[in-house]
């Protein structure tokens, strides 16, 4: 069931790619995917490219995948090991959800953090108490870890390019390239 579903979702994503997101399975294991998300416009994450790992079990879609950020990010709902506090990846999971919907939800979380259900309480407190300082810290992390000039993640764009485009990661995992 899981294998068939993952293949169908891959076909769907190839037919109708998401704007600002990409995902592709590992060449040797369709249960391990690499995804990239462009930081949403008008956020501290803008111009950054954030890589994620998605690991699916044989029980997918009845159990959610394990999704984590590979790229460091300063966010109240994402911890230093890349763990994500997002209800659809836990209690609110439904077999109707897809890889595309997961990526859209993560994009949404970047654009609109949920400080009331934080994974990193200190960052959530800063988000509430001093939004400008929070945004400055998040921008600094984005520049340091999510842009080509400062991260080992392979991209084709520089920090000054208008729209970064993901390319295969250093382990040669193929990626769907989507330009906004």
Q: Return the structure tokens found at 86.
A: 């997002």
Give me the catalytic one of 54, 85, 153, 175: 85
- 3-state secondary structure at position 61: coil
Contact 7, 99 (CB under 8 A): no
Q: Return the structure tokens found at 55.
A: 């690991």
Q: Is 85 a catalytic residue?
A: yes
* Distance in angstroms (rounded) separating the CA atoms of residues 82 and 168: 20
DSSP string spanning 137-150? Answer: HHHHHHHHHSSGGG
- 3-state secondary structure at position 23: strand
List, as own/partner pairs, every contact residues 69-73 make where C-beta atoms lie below 8 angstroms and the sequence separation is at least 24, other chains included.
Answer: 70/34, 70/153, 71/145, 71/146, 71/151, 71/153, 72/141, 72/144, 72/145, 72/146, 73/45, 73/138, 73/141, 73/142, 73/145, 73/146
Q: Looking at the annotation, which residues are catalytic?
A: 85
């Amino acid at each position: 069931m899981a294998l068939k579903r993952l293949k169908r979702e891959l076909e769907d994503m190839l037919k109708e790619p998401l704007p600002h997101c990409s995902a592709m399975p590992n060449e040797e294991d369709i249960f391990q995917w690499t995804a990239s998300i462009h930081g949403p416009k008008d956020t501290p994450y803008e111009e950054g490219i954030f890589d994620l790992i998605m690991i699916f079990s044989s029980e997918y879609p009845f159990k959610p995948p394990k999704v984590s950020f590979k790229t460091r990010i300063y966010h109240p709902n994402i911890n230093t090991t890349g763990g994500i506090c997002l209800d659809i990846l836990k209690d609110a999971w439904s077999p109707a959800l897809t890889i595309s919907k997961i990526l859209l939800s993560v994009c949404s979380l970047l654009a609109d953090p949920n400080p009331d259900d934080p994974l990193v309480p200190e960052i959530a407190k800063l988000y509430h108490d001093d939004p400008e300082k929070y945004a400055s810290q998040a921008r600094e992390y984005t520049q340091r870890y999510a842009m080509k000039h400062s991260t080992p993640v392979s991209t084709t764009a520089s920090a000054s390019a208008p729209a970064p485009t993901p390319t295969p990661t250093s382990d040669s995992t193929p990626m769907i390239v989507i330009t906004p």
